Structure 1
Amino acid sequence: MIHYSDEQISQIRDLAAALTPISDIAILMDLDVYQLRDALADPANPVSQAYRRAKAETMLSIRRNELQLASMGSPLAVQLAGTYLINMDNDEDL
């Protein structure tokens, strides 16, 4: 298992928050993509935790914006809100 510095974890967090694909994160940070994927696949790994939290926070912000737009009558936002609800329901069934 590779050890990532606090600085690398912070940079991975920032890139994940910008919804950067894993392969691009590896390229931008000059990391081995397979080692990075292995680290991200381990929920106990601090790299995985930082990546997933940043991604979840960004998605939460996007969903909140979509819900606000849906409440103002945006047809696309209403449709996306429905998709979010279905995803939420599906996740509850796991």
Structure 2
Amino acid sequence: INVEKLKQEIFILQGELESSKVENENLRVGQTTDLGAVKDIIDFSLQSLHKIITGTNWSIKQLTSGAESLRIVAEVLKSTGKISEVEAEKEL
């Protein structure tokens, strides 16, 4: 009677062991998949960040160019104003 119970218990334990092995393997595969998904998300985020940086650099260059153009226009207007003042004084 004891031997039969032990055989049944061994059979049950072997089944649980096999089930645990399968579950463990499934967890490993799932973990690998999750890490792969995380890597994909990180890669996508880095590409997006690179595009934002590139766009920002382009915007900064445009802003700098625009500021330089405004400075030149201001200098021209200032010079034109001085010329006008000199001509107005000549007429007096």
Report TM bin, short chain: 0.3 to 0.5
Higher relative contact order (CA 8 A, sep 6+): 1
Instruction: Tell me the TM-score normalised to structure 2 length.
Output: 0.33
Larger C-alpha radius of gyration, 1 or 2? 2
